[in-house]
Amino acid sequence: MNDAGNSTDDPVLVLDNVTRTFREGGNQLDVLNGVQASVKPGEIVALVGPSGSGKTTLLQVAGLLDRPDKGDVWIGGAACGKMTDRERTQTRRQRIGFVYQFHHLLPDFSALENVVLPQRIAGRGISQSEAHAKDLLGRLGLEERLNHRPGKLSGGERQRVAIARGVANNPDVLLGDEPTGNLDQRTADTVFQALLDLVREHNVSALIATHNAELAQRMDRTLVVHDGKLIPE
Ligand SMILES: Nc1ncnc2c1ncn2[C@@H]1O[C@H](COP(=O)(O)OP(=O)(O)OP(=O)(O)O)[C@@H](O)[C@H]1O
Ligand SMILES: [Mg+2]
């Protein structure tokens, strides 16, 4: 039991009856329709489903970048629906990491700086942030690329920097939206394995959308988006 009275086995992320509806040109699109899911500490869960089924929408809601129309998201035992935008931003910074299909690195900053920056924003000191960033980038095989800007890195290298950035603040949960979807099969394979190794080593939980069945199989379990709900595979 920790201070909040939670057991260490309590889920780090819960989606409780999450509904998300979009309205476009008079049409109503029920993308998520009562999603139930939970991710336990250290668990790595694959999120699969055809294009347009709602994976990105679900990850945006889970990552507090979007609010559900109904239901709630719980992170680290706290209900996020009632939080102010400021509290949600704080929760996102402290507890959630993201890795997207396209790296979204800051183009004018080096690989090292891109991994240092979120740590500084979270309040970590400069030397500690740099040491941690070097360690993470080194584990991902980028020790010779610390001072390269994203424009001078290969696609696989950029994604590895994005992965280091995603775990830099030791999030409770890492959300991945096709993190290797933009890479050739071989590079995707090694970069994805590096991501899994890093996540497991840091005991971070993860929910990762992928179209690649082989990658999904390397995770602990799979959830399929089907008719706006999540079903285990
Ligand atoms: N802001 C929005 N406004 C209106 N419709 C939206 C919006 N965002 C997503 N949609 C619709 O919601 C559906 C789900 O989109 P989403 O991006 O979540 O799918 P996905 O499963 O991530 O697909 P992909 O595998 O192609 O990335 C799509 O039909 C999309 O057109
Ligand atoms: Mg998507």
The arithmetic mean of pLDDT across residues 91-119, rounded, is 94
Q: Which of 87, 62, 58, 85 is nearest to 75 (CA)?
A: 62
Q: Tell me, using a 6 A CB cutoff, whether residue 49 lines ligand 1.
A: yes
* 24 CB near ligand 1 (under 6 Å): yes
Q: What is the pLDDT of residue 6?
A: 53
Q: What is the mean pLDDT of residues 194-215?
A: 94
Question: Is the per-residue pLDDT at 96 higher than 80?
Answer: yes
Looking at the predicted structure, is the pLDDT value of residue 2 above 50? no
Quick one: which atom of ligand 1 is closest to the CA of 49?
21
* The two structure tokens encoding residue 88: 């949600």
pLDDT of 142-158, one tens digit each?
Answer: 999 999 999 999 999 99
- b/e for 76-115, b at 16 or more Cβ within 10 A? beeebeebeeeebeebbbebbbbbbbebebeeeebbbbbb
> What amino acid is encoded at 65 in this protein?
L
Residue 33, number of CB atoms within 10 A of its CB: 16
Q: Are 233 and 226 in contact (CB under 8 A)?
A: no
Residue whose CB lies within 8 A of the most ligand 1 atoms, among 33, 53, 61, 229, for a mutation test: 53
Q: What pLDDT is recorded for position 1?
A: 41
pLDDT of 67: 96
The answer, yes or no, to whether any atom of ligand 1 lies below 6 A from the CB of 31, is yes
pLDDT tier for residue 233 given thresholds of 50, 70 and 90: confident
Residue 224 pLDDT level (bands cut at 50, 70, 90): very high
18 close to 73: Cβ distance less than 8 angstroms: yes
pLDDT digits (tens, 9 = 90+) for 4-22: 555 678 999 999 999 999 9
Q: Is 60 close to ligand 1, i.e. is its CB under 6 Å away?
A: no
∠ CA 66-67-69 to the nearest 5 degrees?
Answer: 135
Architecture of domain 39-68+84-221: 3-Layer(aba) Sandwich (3.40)
Confidence (pLDDT) at 24? 86
Look over the chain and give the mean of its residue pLDDT values, rounded to a whole number.
Answer: 93
For the chain, give the percent of residues with pLDDT over 90: 86
Entry pTM: 0.93
* Per-residue pLDDT reduced to its tens digit, 157-177: 999 999 999 999 999 999 999
